[in-house]
Amino acid sequence: MSATLTSKGQVTIPKAVRSRLHLKTGDKLEFVLHQNSVEIIPISGSVKDLKGMVTKPSKAVSLDDMDRVIHEQVSL
Q: Quick check: is 5 in a domain?
A: no
What's the pTM value of the predicted model, to 2 decimals? 0.51
pLDDT at 31: 94
pLDDT tens per residue across span 43-58: 876 777 777 778 888 8
Domains: count for the chain: 1
pLDDT at 4: 96
Q: Quick check: is 70 in a domain?
A: yes
- Element containing residue 32 per DSSP (H, E): strand 29-33
Q: Quick check: is 46 in a domain?
A: yes
Q: Which segments in the chain show pLDDT lower than 50?
A: none
Range of the domain at 44: 15-74
pLDDT at 58: 86
pLDDT at 50: 73
SS3 (DSSP) at 44:
coil
SS3 (DSSP) at 40:
strand
Residues 54 and 67: their CA atoms lie apart, in Å, by 19
Q: Quick check: is 26 in a domain?
A: yes
